[in-house]
A and B are shown apart, each in its own frame.
Chain A
């Protein structure tokens, strides 16, 4: 396949950036989107140009490091991570726009790499438990009903890639934050911090400059892990409940 790529190039955090066009040839449908970018980068290096910077690590859809907006959609046209998106979803001759996550809370570091440490600070503010859970056999000592375990697992799937923020017209981190709040708040091990967790994490989220939720629903459409939109509603309930209790556990 031969493709035209229009990629956001930006040298550093405070430098101006622009969409820059590149041609790549010899792309096979089996390649992942990142392998296609590797191909481009090899050519750029051979030509003595600066390769396109992008984040990646596991390349198997579990670490959440990769992520870019492809043709206006976070992680591109399929519900998966960019590393698991394959070139068979594009056609020969396509022009593909590639941009970094856009959000005030995710400043661009270079090209397609953004600083997502705001997510780490949200997790640090309450995305943990203090209950000692012991070793593996002890996990069975605290029975967890199946539906609760299912809800927790569904929300634990979040890999923190930031696609929700990138897709949201308000750059809101509600889906990310709610995934962690719901994951821990439904489990018995999460109960000691049930109130402080949601209040602190929502507070941290607001402090980072993410926008609010307008229930637009773009986040859940973009999420490669299928965190449901209603996760946000469950967090809202936890927030209002904790506020009513005055934030005390």
Chain B
């Protein structure tokens, strides 16, 4: 009997083609949305994309703030003070700054934990290498894992250097302008920051485009535009940050 050509008698009796039988009821899914998203590779990647975008938004503001260094110590130190009084009187002194810090720490931790868990899974899914391999992906794509680790280490160094001033010789609390100049008056300060910002540029170049794919906005006709935007954002961000050590090295900022 030609099953494929039989018309369902129930369906034939129905008026319009739009009426369909009730779909089979699926049993209730995981009780929590967050749990089921975090457990899936697609959901966990979405967490990475969102936390990455939060960090990226912060970095954009941070980079613009840093450029105030070119307008002298008054401007820069005044800006640093304003960040602490922002939101007053609704918020207490430094509360705004602490809110931002909590959001950032949460983002970094979620991003890194998801990266670690997904990477372990990815490596386990391809236990045996090919005898011959043709590498086609870009440098930025291939360096996401190690680049991310470099950025993680950099974040720690950066906080010890310019927030807690633990590793910054000649630093004085409350004088951010002078402390930045002190950092970039050492060869290792310049090296660490410039290398880290180049790594940041690469991470964002793949990361921003990748986040657009992960969050479901990638389409073939949009791909070129998304790649151009990611590369441009990465270049502007890395360039903006690197301008500061260059400024100190060349004596424009002193």
Contacts and interface: CB of A to CB of B under 8 A. Distances in A.
Contact of A136 (B5, B23, B136, B212): B5
B169 interface: no
B180 interface: no
Interface in B28-62: 29-30, 33, 36-37, 39-46
Nearest to B33: A243
A138 interface: yes
A191 B22 CA distance: 11
Interface string A217-249: 110010000001110111111111101101101
Contacts of B213: 213, 215, 229-230, 232-233, 236
Q: Please tell me the size bucket of the interface on B.
A: 35 or more
Interface string A145-171: 000000000000000000000001111
A244 B130 CA distance: 39
B118 interface: yes
A239 B40 contact: yes
Interface centre among A6, A170, A214, A244 (most CB of B within 10 A): A214
A233 B217 CA distance: 6
B206 interface: yes
Contacts of B134: 71-73
Contact of A230 (B5, B40, B123, B218): B218
A214 B210 contact: yes
B7 A135 contact: yes
Interface stretch (A24-32, A46-54, A59-67, A198-206): A198-206
Contacts of B21: 130-132
A105 interface: yes
B144 interface: yes
Contacts of A210: 125
Contacts of B222: 230
A237 B223 CA distance: 16
Contact of B129 (A102, A209, A216, A237): A102
B251 interface: no
B132 A71 contact: yes
Contacts of A234: 216, 218-219
Interface in B114-168: 118, 121-134, 136-137, 141, 144
Contacts of B18: 142
Contact of A216 (B128, B141, B214): B141
A171 B126 contact: yes
14 contacts: A102-B130, A105-B125, A131-B20, A171-B126, A196-B23, A196-B26, A203-B40, A212-B41, A228-B220, A236-B42, A239-B40, A239-B216, A240-B216, A243-B37
Given A172-B125, A234-B218, 8 more contacts: A103-B125, A132-B7, A135-B6, A142-B17, A214-B141, A215-B214, A233-B213, A239-B216
